[in-house]
């Protein structure tokens, strides 16, 4: 009798448990970041919130902190007015362009346009601001105002800020609306066309009504984004602190106020600081409410809807046969309307991509010549000046942020995709989606309050100060939701049969994830991560409050760290030609880097989908 | 797949290589983190460059406005700050709670020039009263009779005046509004003298002296107030201001020195100047040659300094108030009077290191 062959020992479960623990810890970390963000903002603004009525923050527009007047109504108005102008311009154009792309455009046009829209969405907001200041305000609106006799010689103001916001949210609205238009079932269109409707009638009466909830959701998301935008607005709104309801007047907005004043509130300025943070909290609430509303609309869309049929009245006399001449007229009219509206949609589509060429063209014309060797090797005080320190600093900040966000984000995504029964999954998914919609300036306020000048310090103690740590933390928090989302989506695309095969061969869950799922999902994950890097590389608003700038190359992570977008912003308003040319050169280099990342990633990944919105 | 990986590797490589790490060895030059007033920025960057060559220490000055300098010194985010407005009683108190006594070391003196951008006009004379009315938005046209009366024969257009102010808390604004408040009772009531007062409607804000200079340079019919060095880089003409002696004076180093000589004699009894031994108000000075809008910029730091950095800062400031003054005239600043240099030197000597 032979002894039975010894069984191979089962793989140790310790590693597996540790791995699961690690994924859970990452998920818990994401949760705690979100909780801390809300908690810190609430705690910091509490002294103001309890006195909101007394300070008249939302009822007065008398903003004069040195006289203890904290009426912030004018900033709220500036934020609301610019957002409304942006929506009024961007929604018709964006929805028109989406309808055109989805229903009319030949595949080639659709492909090219969606690619261009993705590029437009990838341009950093400080570039929009610089372009809007130099081109839109000074060369576009100023002469127009002069022509119509408005008292505004600089062209800056609420209208300028609203228009640049419109350009910024256009790709967002277009991409999301395009997606919902595509989701309209084919049968709906075919039914409409079979009944003899023209293409325009089909779009207007069938496709758009069917897609309406999704389009409304897209508008809410875009509105949330417009309200939280900092750089582009602060550069063109005029920074004038009075309330004037004329759209050609100058004004100011909440994010612009925070970016300009939070870091000048010292320990004595507790009330001003609390009011500023409370306004940041207001931005956060606006963004989250918009997001929740959007989700509500999407849920409404996904519900099957059945309309009750109109009762047929068989006893009534049949309607008289239509008059042939009238029918012919109606058909002609419909054909004419079809032609006109098709043309109008063409124009919408055209207008959504025109700004991209205006921006790229203007930045290239101004900046391409200015990129010299000195730009890469010299410091701002050298002759000729350069931005070497900012380039090194940007790489440092983005690298540090990525080193923090990629592992955490990847593990959290593994939790979401591979441990779906875990109790943490639902809250982590919710929170990471919300984090993705937090305005960047709010993340900056958070990092400032936690690292730069920690709120728990008593007077006289030192925090991290302006440092790469603080800047990278802010950027990392912004990058986290993007990494989580793209990695989770990538892993979900891995067919289940692969996992089943792995388990069948006796692999543990950890082995399956590390050896099967991750390698299969890697290209898509890398694509997502690089897009996220491209996005944070151009981020400016949180860096103003955290990493700040410096005249030298940062020597450690504890030093104030200059960055390229920060210096584009700083040098954009320099009277000296030399420094201003540096800003142009910096803008050009920044755009080239960000666009190369986008184009390169897409070419390598081999798919060009309309996903400008999904890349955030 | 392999291509993507290779691309990813290449994309991540610079981040790994570019990380500076902790390279601050013993041989590296000490670095002082400073910031604040944009008023001193042109000369401060010059000093920073020269001092690095001379003494191998890096002064990292980031200009973000005087209010920023004061509050960030107090919260110890920077090692020393600069402000053209001395700390107010409230700010001094906050600083006392945070780190004890603060010193105000005057580092340079300069004029606040009133620059303008009007087609065909390069010579403009203004009085304090008229300037106050422009910033109160009571005079809104370039061809206003009051302006025309001061400038006979100057082709002033019928265009709107677009005044520009600072969008952040600024010492230059403090000097400018102090002058206007002395000249106009209405201005003194509101907006009044402040680093960031509440300007009337129609006054547009820009960050930094450079922000105003650039705006005036680019946008026609604007008027703004900047330190004289910025007026020069903007390439736009500065207005002559009528001083106490009734003479129109342009902002020049000589006119600033005249104002300083007249003012140093007067001991200022008003806050915030009375709070600090070497703080002076130079606005609206006596004398026929004095330019009326003049201010000093102060380096603000705690009296108690950490051992390593404190010594570097003290050395630098001593160099600034003595040798550093030779760069002043070239950059449109006025050198500190010899007497003030000595007093400043003594004040720096009272720093304690621990």
Give pLDDT tens digits for A506-540: 999 999 999 999 999 988 898 889 989 988 999 99
- For chain B positions 169-188, those within 8 Å of chain A (CB to CB) are 169
Residue of A nearest to B23 (CA): A555
Helix H or strand E segment including B214: helix B208-218
Quote the number of domains for chain A. Answer: 2
Chain-chain contact of B214 with A580 (C-beta, under 8 angstroms): yes
Q: Does the beta carbon of B195 lie under 8 angstroms from any beta carbon of chain A?
A: yes
Asked if pLDDT for residue A347 goes beyond 70, the answer is yes
Q: Considering the domain boundaries, does residue B59 fall inside one?
A: yes
The answer to whether residues A271 and A68 touch, using CB atoms and an 8 Å cutoff, is yes
Q: Give me the residue label for tokens 């720096």.
A: B348
pLDDT computed for residue A547 by the predictor: 92
Same domain membership, residue A149 and residue A265: yes
The count of residues in chain B is 354
pLDDT computed for residue B274 by the predictor: 87
Nearest to B71 among A241, A266, A605 (CB): A266
pLDDT computed for residue B16 by the predictor: 47
Q: Considering the domain boundaries, does residue A326 fall inside one?
A: no
Asked if pLDDT for residue B183 goes beyond 70, the answer is yes
Q: Considering the domain boundaries, does residue B248 fall inside one?
A: yes
pLDDT computed for residue A307 by the predictor: 65
Among residues A368, A391, A419, the one where a domain terminates is: A368
Confidence of residue B2 (pLDDT cuts 50, 70, 90): low
Same domain membership, residue B219 and residue B171: yes
Same domain membership, residue A528 and residue A590: yes
Residue of A nearest to B59 (CA): A551
**Mean pLDDT value across residues B91-115:** 93
Token pair in block for residue B80: 């020393």
Q: What is the CA radius of gyration of chain B?
A: 22
pLDDT computed for residue B269 by the predictor: 77
Percent of chain A at pLDDT > 90 equals 72
Q: Give me the residue label for tokens 């090797």.
A: A377
Asked if pLDDT for residue B339 goes beyond 70, the answer is yes
Among residues B263, B285, B316, the one where a domain terminates is: B263
- Nearest Cα of chain A lies from the Cα of B308 at a distance, in angstroms, of 16
Asked if pLDDT for residue B5 goes beyond 70, the answer is no
Question: Residue B24, Cβ neighbours under 10 Å: how many?
Answer: 15
- Residue A314 DSSP code: S
For residue B23, which residues of chain A lie inside 8 Å, CB to CB? 555-556
Q: Is the peptide bond before B191 cis (omega within 30 degrees of 0)?
A: yes
**Mean pLDDT value across residues B83-107:** 93
Short-list A274, A157, A294, CA closest to A223: A294
For residue B219, which residues of chain A lie inside 8 Å, CB to CB? 138, 142, 153-154
Helix H or strand E segment including A76: helix A73-99
Chain-chain contact of A153 with B222 (C-beta, under 8 angstroms): yes
Same domain membership, residue B126 and residue B19: no
Token pair in block for residue A74: 């004018």
- HEC string of A442-480 equals HHHHHHHHHHHCCCCCCCCCCCCCCCHHHHHHHHHHHHH
User: Which pairing describes strands B240-242 and B248-249: parallel, antiparallel, or unpaired?
Assistant: antiparallel
Least confident of A38-47, A260-269, A486-495: A260-269
The Cβ-side half-sphere exposure at B29, using a 13 Å CA radius, reads 19
CA distance A159 to A169: 15
**Mean pLDDT value across residues A229-234:** 95
pLDDT in tens, B26-64: 457 899 999 999 999 999 999 999 999 999 999 999 999
pLDDT in tens, B234-288: 999 999 999 999 999 999 999 999 999 888 877 777 888 888 989 989 999 998 9
pLDDT computed for residue A323 by the predictor: 84
- For chain B positions 2-21, those within 8 Å of chain A (CB to CB) are 3-5, 7-8, 11-12, 14-16, 18-21
Asked if pLDDT for residue A104 goes beyond 60, the answer is yes
Question: Residue B185, Cβ neighbours under 10 Å: how many?
Answer: 10
Q: DSSP assignment of A206-227, as one string? A: IIHHHHHHHHHHHHHHHHHHHH
Domain of residue A122, CATH code: 1.10.3720.10
Least confident of A230-239, A254-263, A291-300, A592-601: A291-300
Asked if pLDDT for residue B23 goes beyond 70, the answer is no
CA distance B213 to B225: 8
Asked if pLDDT for residue B4 goes beyond 50, the answer is no
Q: Give me the residue label for tokens 């809250």.
A: A427
Q: Which residue has the higher pLDDT, B2 or A385?
A: A385
Distance between alpha carbon A141 and the CA centroid of its chain, in Å? 26
pLDDT computed for residue A579 by the predictor: 92
Asked if pLDDT for residue B15 goes beyond 60, the answer is no
Write out the residue range of the structural domain in which residue B35 sits.
2-110+296-353
Q: Give me the residue label for tokens 């800047």.
A: A471
Chain-chain contact of B22 with A557 (C-beta, under 8 angstroms): yes
Same domain membership, residue B117 and residue B61: no
Q: Give me the residue label for tokens 């009366």.
A: B149
The answer to whether residues A560 and A451 touch, using CB atoms and an 8 Å cutoff, is no
pLDDT computed for residue A304 by the predictor: 56
Q: In b/e form, how buried is each residue of B110-143, taking b as 16+ CB within 10 angstroms?
A: bbbbbbbbbeebeebbbbbbbbbbbbbeebeebe
pLDDT computed for residue B354 by the predictor: 82
Chain-chain contact of B91 with A266 (C-beta, under 8 angstroms): yes
Quote the number of domains for chain B. Answer: 2
Contacts of B51 (CB under 8 A, 6+ apart): B57, B59, B316, B319, B324
- Nearest Cα of chain B lies from the Cα of A90 at a distance, in angstroms, of 27
Same domain membership, residue A204 and residue A173: yes
CA distance B210 to A432: 40
Q: Give me the residue label for tokens 């300098």.
A: B69
For residue A381, which residues of chain B lie inside 8 Å, CB to CB? 45, 48-49
- Interface probe for A, chosen from B68, B71, B228, B230 (most Cβ of A below 10 Å), is B71
Same domain membership, residue B224 and residue B125: yes
For residue A604, which residues of chain B lie inside 8 Å, CB to CB? 3-4, 7
Q: Which residue has the higher pLDDT, A266 or A380?
A: A380
Confidence of residue A608 (pLDDT cuts 50, 70, 90): very low
Q: Give me the residue label for tokens 């309890």.
A: A50
Asked if pLDDT for residue A615 goes beyond 60, the answer is no
pLDDT computed for residue A459 by the predictor: 72
- HEC string of A374-398 equals HHHHCCCCCCCCCCHHHHHHHHHHH
Same domain membership, residue A276 and residue A224: yes
Asked if pLDDT for residue A232 goes beyond 50, the answer is yes
CA distance A452 to A443: 13
Same domain membership, residue B312 and residue B237: no
Residue of A nearest to B234 (CA): A575
CA distance A437 to A418: 25
Short-list A388, A371, A369, A370, CA closest to A379: A388
Domain of residue B50, CATH code: 3.40.190.10
Among residues B216, B240, B263, the one where a domain terminates is: B263
Chain-chain contact of A463 with B77 (C-beta, under 8 angstroms): yes
**Mean pLDDT value across residues B167-185:** 95
C-alpha torsion sign, points A85, A87, A92, A96? positive
- Nearest Cα of chain A lies from the Cα of B218 at a distance, in angstroms, of 8
For residue A462, which residues of chain B lie inside 8 Å, CB to CB? 76-77
Q: Taking the model in full, what pTM does it have? A: 0.91
Question: Residue B73, Cβ neighbours under 10 Å: how many?
Answer: 29
Confidence of residue A458 (pLDDT cuts 50, 70, 90): confident
Chain-chain contact of A67 with B48 (C-beta, under 8 angstroms): no
pLDDT in tens, A545-569: 999 989 999 999 998 999 999 999 9
Q: What is the ipTM of this complex?
A: 0.90
| DSSP bridge partners of B165 | B205
Q: What is the CA radius of gyration of chain A?
A: 27
CA distance B75 to B92: 12
Token pair in block for residue B163: 């005044």
For residue B89, which residues of chain A lie inside 8 Å, CB to CB? none
- Residue B260 DSSP code: H
Nearest to A268 among B14, B58, B90 (CB): B90
pLDDT computed for residue B11 by the predictor: 52
CA distance A64 to A242: 10
Where are the alpha helices (H) located in A512-574, listed in sequence order? 518-537, 541-545, 564-571
Least confident of A295-299, A587-591, B80-84: A295-299
Same domain membership, residue B10 and residue B33: yes
Confidence of residue A238 (pLDDT cuts 50, 70, 90): very high
Query: What are residue B254's phi and psi, to 5 degrees?
Result: -65, -45
- Interface probe for A, chosen from B3, B5, B7, B58 (most Cβ of A below 10 Å), is B7
CA distance A87 to A334: 29
CA distance B233 to A579: 11
Helix H or strand E segment including A37: helix A13-49
Same domain membership, residue A252 and residue A399: no
Q: What angle do CA B241, B245, B248 make, to 5 degrees?
A: 25
CA distance B175 to B182: 11
Chain-chain contact of A266 with B78 (C-beta, under 8 angstroms): no
pLDDT computed for residue A1 by the predictor: 46
Q: Considering the domain boundaries, does residue A322 fall inside one?
A: no
Same domain membership, residue B134 and residue B249: yes
For residue A239, which residues of chain B lie inside 8 Å, CB to CB? 167, 204-207
CB pairs under 8 A between A and B: 216
- Interface probe for B, chosen from A268, A449, A578 (most Cβ of B below 10 Å), is A268
Asked if pLDDT for residue A296 goes beyond 90, the answer is no
- Nearest Cα of chain B lies from the Cα of A522 at a distance, in angstroms, of 8
Token pair in block for residue A100: 């055109």
For residue B214, which residues of chain A lie inside 8 Å, CB to CB? 573-575, 580
Write out the residue range of the structural domain in which residue A298 sits.
51-302+336-368
Same domain membership, residue A521 and residue A450: yes
Chain-chain contact of B194 with A66 (C-beta, under 8 angstroms): yes
């Amino acid at each position: 009798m032979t002894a039975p062959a010894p069984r191979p020992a089962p793989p140790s479960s310790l590693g597996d448990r540790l791995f699961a623990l690690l994924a859970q810890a990452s998920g818990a970390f994401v949760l705690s970041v979100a909780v801390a963000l809300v908690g810190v903002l609430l705690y910091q603004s509490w002294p103001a919130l309890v006195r909101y009525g007394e300070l008249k923050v939302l009822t007065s527009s008398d903003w004069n902190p040195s006289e203890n007047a904290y009426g912030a109504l004018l900033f709220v108005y500036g934020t609301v007015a610019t957002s409304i102008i942006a929506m009024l311009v961007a929604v018709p154009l964006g929805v028109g362009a989406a309808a055109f792309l989805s229903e009319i455009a030949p595949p080639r046009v659709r492909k090219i346009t969606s690619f261009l829209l993705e590029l437009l969405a990838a341009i950093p907001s400080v570039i929009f601001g610089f372009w809007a200041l130099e081109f839109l305000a000074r060369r576009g609106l100023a002469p127009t105002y002069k022509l119509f006799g408005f008292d505004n010689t600089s062209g800056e103001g609420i209208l300028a800020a609203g228009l640049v916001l419109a350009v910024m949210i256009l790709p967002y609205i277009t991409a999301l609306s395009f997606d919902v238009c595509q989701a309209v079932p084919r049968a709906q269109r075919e039914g409409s066309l079979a009944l003899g409707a023209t293409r325009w009638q089909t779009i207007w009466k069938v496709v758009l009504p069917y897609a309406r909830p999704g389009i409304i959701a897209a508008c809410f998301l875009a509105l949330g984004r417009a309200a939280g935008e900092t750089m582009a607005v602060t550069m063109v709104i005029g920074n004038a602190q009075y309330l004037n309801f004329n759209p050609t007047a100058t004004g100011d907005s909440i994010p612009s106020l925070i970016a300009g004043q939070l870091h000048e509130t010292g320990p004595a300025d507790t009330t001003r600081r609390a009011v500023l943070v409370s306004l940041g909290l207001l931005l956060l609430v606006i963004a989250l409410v918009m997001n929740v509303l959007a989700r509500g609309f999407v849920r409404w869309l996904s519900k099957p809807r059945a309309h009750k049929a109109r009762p047929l009245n068989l006893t009534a006399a049949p309607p008289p046969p239509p008059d042939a001449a009238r029918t012919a007229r109606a058909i002609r009219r419909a054909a004419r309307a079809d032609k006109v509206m098709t043309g109008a949609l063409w124009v919408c589509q055209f207008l959504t991509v025109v700004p991209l060429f205006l921006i790229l063209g203007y930045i290239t014309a101004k900046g391409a010549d200015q990129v010299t060797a000195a730009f890469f090797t010299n410091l701002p005080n050298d002759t000729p000046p350069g931005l070497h320190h900012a380039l090194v600093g940007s790489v440092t900040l983005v690298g540090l942020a990525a080193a923090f966000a990629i592992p955490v984000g990847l593990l959290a995504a593994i939790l979401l995709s591979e441990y779906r029964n875990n109790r943490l999954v639902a809250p982590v998914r919710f929170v990471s989606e919300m984090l993705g919609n937090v305005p960047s300036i709010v993340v900056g306020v958070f990092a400032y309050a936690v690292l730069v000048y920690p709120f728990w310090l008593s007077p006289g103690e030192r925090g991290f100060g302006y440092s790469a740590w603080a800047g990278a933390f802010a950027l990392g928090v912004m990058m986290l939701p993007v990494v989580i989302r793209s990695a989770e989506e990538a892993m979900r695309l891995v067919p289940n049969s692969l996992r089943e095969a792995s388990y069948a061969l006796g692999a543990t869950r950890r082995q399956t994830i590390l050896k099967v799922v991750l390698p299969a999902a890697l290209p898509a994950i890398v694509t997502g991560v690089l897009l996220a890097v491209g996005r944070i590389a151009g981020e400016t608003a949180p860096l103003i409050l955290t990493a700040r700038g410096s005249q030298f190359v940062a020597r450690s992570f504890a030093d104030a760290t200059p960055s390229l977008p920060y210096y584009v912003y700083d040098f954009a308003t320099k009277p000296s030609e030399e420094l201003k040319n540096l800003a142009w050169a910096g803008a050009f280099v920044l755009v080239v880097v960000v666009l190369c990342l986008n184009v390169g990633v897409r070419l390598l990944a081999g798919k060009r989908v309309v996903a400008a919105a999904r890349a955030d | 797949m392999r291509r993507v990986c290779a691309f990813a590797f290449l994309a991540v490589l610079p981040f790994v290589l570019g990380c500076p790490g902790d390279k601050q060895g013993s041989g590296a030059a000490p670095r002082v983190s400073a910031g604040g007033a944009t008023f001193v920025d042109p000369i401060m960057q010059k000093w920073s460059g020269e001092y690095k060559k001379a003494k191998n220490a890096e002064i990292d000055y980031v200009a973000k406005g005087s209010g920023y300098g004061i509050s960030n010194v107090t919260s110890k985010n920077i090692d020393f700050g600069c402000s053209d407005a001395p700390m107010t009683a409230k700010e001094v108190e906050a600083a006392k709670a945070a780190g004890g006594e603060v010193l105000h070391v005057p580092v340079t003196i300069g004029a606040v020039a009133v620059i303008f951008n009007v087609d065909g006009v390069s010579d403009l004379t203004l009085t304090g009263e008229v300037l106050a009315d422009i910033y109160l938005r009571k005079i809104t046209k370039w061809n206003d009779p009051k302006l025309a009366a001061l400038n006979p024969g100057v082709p002033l257009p019928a265009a709107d005046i677009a005044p520009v102010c600072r969008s952040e808390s600024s010492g230059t604004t403090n000097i400018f509004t102090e002058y206007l408040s002395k000249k106009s009772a209405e201005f003194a009531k509101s907006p009044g003298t402040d680093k960031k007062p509440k300007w009337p409607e129609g006054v547009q804000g820009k960050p930094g002296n450079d922000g105003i200079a650039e705006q005036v340079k680019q946008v026609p019919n604007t008027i703004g107030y900047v330190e004289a060095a910025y007026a020069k880089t903007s390439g736009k003409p500065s207005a002559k201001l009528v001083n106490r002696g009734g003479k129109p004076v342009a902002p020049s180093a000589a006119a600033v020195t005249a104002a300083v000589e007249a003012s140093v004699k007067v001991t200022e009894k008003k806050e915030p100047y009375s709070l600090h031994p070497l703080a002076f108000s130079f606005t609206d000075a006596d004398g026929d040659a004095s330019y009326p809008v003049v201010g000093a910029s102060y380096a603000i730091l705690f009296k108690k300094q950490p051992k390593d950095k404190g010594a570097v800062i003290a050395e630098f400031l001593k160099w600034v108030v003595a040798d550093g003054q030779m760069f002043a005239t070239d950059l449109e600043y006025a050198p500190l009077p010899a007497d003030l240099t000595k007093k400043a030197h003594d004040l720096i000597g009272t720093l304690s290191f621990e």
